[in-house]
Amino acid sequence: MMSSLGSIAKHPTITLIDALTTLKELKQVHAQLLANGLLNDHHLLGQFVATIALHNPKNLTYSDQLLTNYDTPTLFSFNSMIRAYSKSSTPHKSFHFYNRILRSLNNLSPDNYTFNFLIRTCAQLLARETGPSVHGALVKYGFENDPHIQSGLIFMYAELGCLNSCHKVFGGISSPDVVCQTAMVSACAKCGDLGFARDLFDEMPGRDSIAWNAMIAGYAQRGKSREALSLFYLMQMEGVKVNEVSMVSVLSACSHLGALDQGRWAHAYIEKNKLRVTVNLGTALIDMYAKCGAMDKAMEVFWGMKEKNVFTWSSAMGGLAMNGFGEKCLELFSLMKKDGVQPNEVTFVAVLRGCSVVGLVDEGKEHFSSMKTSYGIEPEIEHYGCLVDLYGRAGRVVEALNVINSMPMQPHAAAWGALLNACRMYKNLELGELASRKIVELESKNHGAYVLLSNIYADSKKWDGVSNVRQIMKSKGVKKIPGCSVIEVDGEVHEFFVGDKSHPRYNEIEIMLGEISRRLKLFGYVANTNPVLFDIEEEEKEDALCKHSEKVAIAFGLISLREGVPIRIVKNLRVCWDCHEVTKIISKVFNREIIVRDRNRFHHFKDGQCSCRGYW
DNA sequence: CTAGGGTTAG
């Protein structure tokens, strides 16, 4: 049983209460004290309220009832309730207790603790109007110079996305301590001003581990993975103590990059330095291995974890779905429920994707409807998107369209995108046109929609349609996103943009590309040389040979990685059909496992087959 | 007896 150090040598009954954790025990002791007339002390009541609220955050009604049984609860009790509700799933109830303080018979008045908890509540609620009112109120009470309040306000305004207000609060602090400065670094990073965050960080005297972690996390969260990693190396160079929290961000950066070698290095670092593998850290490891296509390692970490929370389960399930292991994803879902972990909306995204990748339409439908009926989770737009994908992938495009037409919210581009992808797979020109028209209405610069549509036209040999699409793209100024593939060799990340010949070993790469071409022809592969088709792939081709960035990266992998080592590529766009065919054949004729993570999912190529079975 | 900065899944 947990017992907090703070209670040692205090009132013996408080120590007793503090040591209790279950509601049952607390209720029993409470009844006993009451029966023996020992509960006349408001401090004891307050301790009950606080302890119950602390250990039973999901069942605050008992604490609530306790308070109503006493006519004059202490400020401590009210504050404890506000704190408890600020972290609960119903944070707004905090305000009920704030009002009770204001209306109390014994003339209580909110203190700095009260406001600190209310600030958390506002942050939690993303209360863009109430937050500033609470700020105004605490100023009236004269707490604006309390450093706890100041750092809290910076945190709150960052959550609300009000960087200006953060600056105002921060600027009003005469000599901000390291805590407030770190809060400000984090706030700027969260709101996207990494430059200011970094300047502040660089000039921070007495930067501690937390400050470094804040800056590294700031980069990692904004997708600046390389910057996050290089700052982490600097942190080590400066001899700052690295902890679990640092490694969570480092792993997150590796996940983003698909940098398996660096991720493995980070894992080894954690073990070597005996860092505690907390739930967060374990989850970050699972996510890293999963997003680097090493699902077996991810599951090894998963099974080795004693404590797993909803993040842990959802990460593992999402990873399995993304890697094409739909059935395993669903098995894990059953285990999760058996384990008593409550699934949330993110878990269901993974479940639905798991169903989708293996074509389990009926099962997916059931899970979808169970969200609300069994778990009280209202399906969000993402879940409807998954449902469209579920039908679409299975070739049931009309039902997919019905989902879009009957969803309770305005369909987003991703829903139409799922339908469009299905139309490409099943060559449904009519619906494909509708879907892409809708996408373009919603996102006039969505390059992928035009590409998929022109693919559909090309598949049906409607060249007029193809050139029409091309003209629309030109007139609307839709820019192609340059394709880029990343491959890691000996811990070094090599980036290949389409048509980019700047790599120091490009000559060798070119020779290898020739060799690939030769062996593909021997195998009987006929390159797709239709000039119309050429122009419509996701990437521009820079010459007559199809040299999409992943092919160049694969060629580089073949010359630089030892035989038998799988080639792992991370691509920023979807893999095109031609590259997909070619990669399948390369995996066979070069007897090499190739793992490609594109913007949607993984393709594990082995022995001429791909794990996606042609659906992506 | 209650508070301050950094961490994870879509």
* A21 is near strand B: CB distance < 7 Å: no
Element (H, E) at A596: strand A594-597
List average pLDDT for each run of 10 residues in chain A, which is 616 residues long.
Answer: 42 77 81 76 76 77 78 87 90 94 92 97 96 98 97 98 97 96 98 97 95 98 96 97 98 95 97 96 98 97 96 98 96 97 97 96 97 96 96 95 96 93 89 89 84 79 83 83 89 87 94 93 75 46 62 95 94 86 94 94 94 82
Give the model's pLDDT for residue A538.
47
Give the model's pLDDT for residue A390.
96
Which of chain B's bases lie under 7 Å from a protein CB?
A: 1-10
Through-space separation of residue A218 CA and nucleotide B6 C1' in angstroms: 9
Residue A45, burial from CB neighbour count under 10 angstroms (0-12, 13-18, 19+)? buried
Closest Cα to residue A46, out of A22, A73, A68, A26?
A73
Give the model's pLDDT for residue A574.
85
* A209 is near strand B: CB distance < 7 Å: yes
Give the model's pLDDT for residue A6.
40
Task: Count the neighbouring beta carbons within 10 Å of the beta carbon of residue A554.
Answer: 29
* A11 is near strand B: CB distance < 7 Å: no
Give the model's pLDDT for residue A10.
59
* A312 is near strand B: CB distance < 7 Å: yes
DSSP string, A145-204: T-HHHHHHHHHHHHHTT-HHHHHHHHHT-SS--HHHHHHHHHHHHHTT-HHHHHHHHHT-
* A301 is near strand B: CB distance < 7 Å: no
Nearest nt (C1') from A83 Cα: B2
Give the model's pLDDT for residue A25.
82
Give the model's pLDDT for residue A461.
80
Handedness of CA A189, A191, A196, A201 (dihedral sign): negative
Output the furthest CA–CA distance in chain A (Å, rounded).
93
* A244 is near strand B: CB distance < 7 Å: yes
Residues β-bridged to residue A486: A495, A570
Nearest nt (C1') from A185 Cα: B5
- Would you tell me the crossing angle of helices A345-357 and A326-338 to the nearest 10 degrees? 150
Chain A residues 63 to 92 whose Cβ lies within 7 Å of strand B are 74-76, 79-80, 83
Asked if residues A191 and A163 have their Cβ atoms less than 8 Å apart, the reply is yes
* A47 is near strand B: CB distance < 7 Å: yes
Q: What is the DSSP letter of A603?
A: E
* A270 is near strand B: CB distance < 7 Å: no
Torsion of the alpha carbons at A265, A268, A270 and A272, rounded to the nearest 10: -130
* A248 is near strand B: CB distance < 7 Å: yes
* A320 is near strand B: CB distance < 7 Å: no
Nearest nt (C1') from A190 Cα: B6
| Strand arrangement of the beta sheet that strand A602-606 belongs to | A492-497, A484-489, A567-571, A594-597, A602-606, A609-610
* A517 is near strand B: CB distance < 7 Å: no
* Chain centroid to CA A568: 22
Chain A residues 541 to 600 whose Cβ lies within 7 Å of strand B are none
Through-space separation of residue A306 CA and nucleotide B7 C1' in angstroms: 19
* Domains with residue ranges and CATH for chain A: 380-480 (1.25.40.10), 485-610 (no CATH)
* A279 is near strand B: CB distance < 7 Å: yes
According to DSSP, the β-strands at A484-489 and A492-497 are antiparallel
Give the model's pLDDT for residue A527.
67
Through-space separation of residue A18 CA and nucleotide B1 C1' in angstroms: 10
Secondary structure of A237-252 in HEC code, one letter for each residue: HCCCCCCHHHHHHHHH
Element (H, E) at A215: helix A209-221
pTM for the structure as a whole: 0.90
For A440-463, give one letter per residue: b (16+ CB within 10 A) or e. Answer: bebbeebebbbbbbbbbbbbeeee
